[in-house]
Structure 1
Amino acid sequence: MLYETPSLVIIGLLLLATIAVVEAGILVGRKYGRNTWNNAQDIHTALTAAVLALMALMLAFTFSLSVTRFDLRKNLIVSEATAIQSVRNGMDYLAPQPKAQALALLGSYLEQRIAFLEVGNDPPREREAIAKSRSLHTEMWKIATDSANYEAPDAEVRSVQFSELTEALLKLNEVSRQREAARERRVPQAALLMLFALSLGSGAVLAYISGASAHPDRLPTYVVLCLVCLVIYLIIDFDRPRRGLMRLDSGPLRELVT
């Protein structure tokens, strides 16, 4: 549900909820907290520090999750580019006609892998790119596993070349499937909802203390909570590399286009 909702909409709603919580917290603090403020000031201060520490811990945890997943997707693009280059090198062992056919298939395969990255948040087109790339990989595999397609006259040499090319194709298939799986690895929705709840709870505590202390200065509270919302936006953006400001670079794959 959250993934299908635009990031700006989520943060906008969170900011509105934060404003409502802060204003309500100040009113409640003024009404119920002033009588006990002098006697419970130390307790209130300790509770505020505990809530802020808990929120900071949750922010760090979810930020780490989102950045780790973003880095994984980025590194797999480089790994796939390397695997494609290895396959291309292995095709040099083929005879001229099957080599030309295999290179044409590999070029189409590369186009589909770039398309899988650049289609954006469009599941049908993503599935189409995956299906086409797998079909092209199957065709390349058929060429690579036919010993008659190798140019070397010596059987032992052909065996070594056969092994290298098929291993390169197997590695390419493995990396491509890892990349497709990494596409679906996101920060758990429960973690994001907990983060939203903690940010609102922190705002409520800060606002209550502000109202109870008879100095309801809203500016520091709003500044802190706006910064928290900004960090949450970055967490969501890292978790959506096809939809926000953080985009994955197709450069390693495009460098292979000839």
Structure 2
Amino acid sequence: MILAAFRHLSILSIGGVAGILFPSLMFAAEFGYRFGRRIASRKSEKSTDLAASATLTTGMIGLLAFTLSLSINFAQDRFEARRDLVLAEANAISTAWLRANLIDGAESAVLAAEIEEYARVALAYTTAESNADIPGLVERMGALQAGIWRSMGMIARHASNPVTIALASALNDMFDLFTSQRFAYQSHVPTNIVLMLYLEALATIGALGYQLGLGGDRHIVLTTLLLMMWSGGMILIMDLNQPRIGSIRADASPLIWTIRGFGGPAQMH
């Protein structure tokens, strides 16, 4: 239940996550500090407790840093995959269009026009700002793929030569890359890893607050800066992990350049 709720929150809004993350870490730090002050007030010997809590807290911070680094690497790898596939798809579309224009006849002109429309739908898919738009774009892309392949079949029946074989191969690569792109956009850092990172952060910050409570000094400025840094790192993961609603998105420039190469406007939907 907790995992499902966290998954829903993580895809709802980056701002919503930020609005919950930092205050919850502040609460954990304050709770740990107050608990530490209560324990310290009941004991006369503090040096042993301080040394032990410092050792344990250092270990927890190290583990949290490792988990944060691992999660950022996961998210960055998925972002890089989406970005690389945009370039690869644009190149495949351009290659297919150029090969279609090597063939004479009205059928090749129809095919080239279909490839141009395909590129525009691919651009709309890449730049879509809501997951609600995706089913319609995928359906449109499927219809275009079917139409393009029918046109390819008509060309192949009338002119079977190395050029048409190369064109068919380019179209197949173009279709495969869109499938790869769909998979890349649906691939995220596992929610249970992000949830584990959040729970580890709460526990670690709480332990840090407890240690400060034992010592009797809040260090408000440094603690606040630390929490801001941890929150920023976790928000970065959320941002990279959401290609539609995040601010860090795959650059669609290669597709725009390809469409401009057709001689038509590249429209961002």
Relative to the length of structure 2, the TM-score reads 0.88
Contact 2:123/2:252 (8 A) holds in 1: yes
Segments of structure 1 that go 5 or more residues without pairing to the other structure are: 151-157
Match for residue 153 of structure 1?
none
| Matched letter for residue 187 of structure 2 | R
1:171 aligns with one of 156, 169, 173: 173
Give me the whole-angstrom Cα distance separating, in 2, the residues matched to 1:67 and 1:143. 39
Match for residue 155 of structure 1?
none
Contact 2:39/2:214 (8 A) holds in 1: yes
Residue 128 (str. 1) matches residue 136 (str. 2) = yes
Aligned to 1:246, the other structure's residue is in SS state: coil
Match for residue 108 of structure 2?
99
Measure how far apart 1:149 and its partner are: 4.2
Residue 191 (str. 1) matches residue 193 (str. 2) = yes
Match for residue 53 of structure 1?
62
| Matched letter for residue 237 of structure 1 | D
1:229 aligns with one of 209, 214, 231: 231
Equivalent residue runs for 1:1-258 within 5 Å: 1-33=8-40, 35=43, 36-123=45-132, 125-146=133-154, 147-150=156-159, 158-257=160-259, 258=263
Measure how far apart 1:183 and its partner are: 0.9
Matched length: 250
Contact 2:75/2:240 (8 A) holds in 1: yes
- Percent identical pairs in the alignment equals 20
Q: 1:149 to 1:3 in 2, by over 3 A?
A: farther
Give me the whole-angstrom Cα distance separating, in 1, the residues matched to 2:58 and 2:12. 32
Deviating above 4 A after TM superposition, structure 1's stretches of 4 or more consecutive aligned residues are none
Residue deviations 1:34-69, cap 9 Å, x none? 525212332111101101001100100000000000
Give me the whole-angstrom Cα distance separating, in 2, the residues matched to 1:55 and 1:245. 25
Give me the whole-angstrom Cα distance separating, in 2, the residues matched to 1:33 and 1:10. 34
- When the two chains are superposed, the root-mean-square deviation of aligned CA atoms in Å is 1.5
Residue deviations 1:109-129, cap 9 Å, x none? 111111111221233x21111
| Matched letter for residue 108 of structure 1 | E
Give me the whole-angstrom Cα distance separating, in 1, the residues matched to 2:96 and 2:242. 30
Give the stretch that moved more between structures: 88-97 or 221-230. Answer: 88-97
Measure how far apart 1:235 and its partner are: 0.8
Aligned to 1:12, the other structure's residue is in SS state: helix
| Matched letter for residue 127 of structure 1 | P
Give me the whole-angstrom Cα distance separating, in 2, the residues matched to 1:227 and 1:234. 11
Give me the whole-angstrom Cα distance separating, in 2, the residues matched to 1:245 and 1:144. 39
